[in-house]
Amino acid sequence: MVGRIIRTSDCIAEGAEWLCAVEPRFARVLDETGPWPLRRKPDGFAELLSAIVSQQVSVASAAAIWGRLCDAHLTNGAAILASSDEALRALGLSRQKIRYARALAEAELDYDALRGLSDAAVISALTQVSGIGRWTAEIYAMFSLGRADVFAPGDLALQEAAKLLFDLAERPNEKELRSMSEHWSPWRAVAARALWAYYRVAKEREGIR
């Protein structure tokens, strides 16, 4: 069953109000960061391909490679399959990412059908594709499908933000943060936005860029 979908900033505000009521430290975050961002993105092949491009490279490198792919009109499955490895490498894709991009194209995911699946089913379907791990699937569910109760506890920034906000001795691992996030249901995706916002503010306060 599909749960709540985040569509507008009003949804974020509703989730923020709920989180601040159940966990006062989120109210502190809101005071420091201001309203948390909507961050909705389109769904479909291009968004997942963009996520693959972004794996293990800097933001600037990912943006440059993605820009070249867009300029070459190589952001759909048919175009990826029709392109040679040499052409894709020339645009900046590694051999591994070329393999992942082709696997995504060959998977022929039904993106319309994904919209109607439960959160767990969406993540299960996406992680069957080579090159798409749980983190990528959760990010897609949160931002491309707008799922309000999905969280990405494997994200290092979320782990560090939780450590700072909750005064933990050590950064929680994925399992520990997943357990913590259960208390933020049914608005875990809004909690993630809060923690990302807090991470940026906290790191700037510490003088880390």
- Sign of the Cα torsion 158, 26, 28, 163 reads negative
CA distance 174 to 184: 16
| Contacting residues for 69 by C-beta, under 8 A, at least 6 apart | 49, 53, 75, 91, 93
Tell me the CB-side half-sphere exposure of residue 116, using CA atoms within 13 A.
Answer: 3
Q: Taking the CA atoms of the chain, what radius of gyration do you get in angstroms?
A: 18
CA distance 14 to 112: 27
Helix (H, G, I), strand (E, B) or coil at 128: coil
Residue 50 contacts residue 41 (beta carbons within 8 Å): no
Catalytic residues: 155
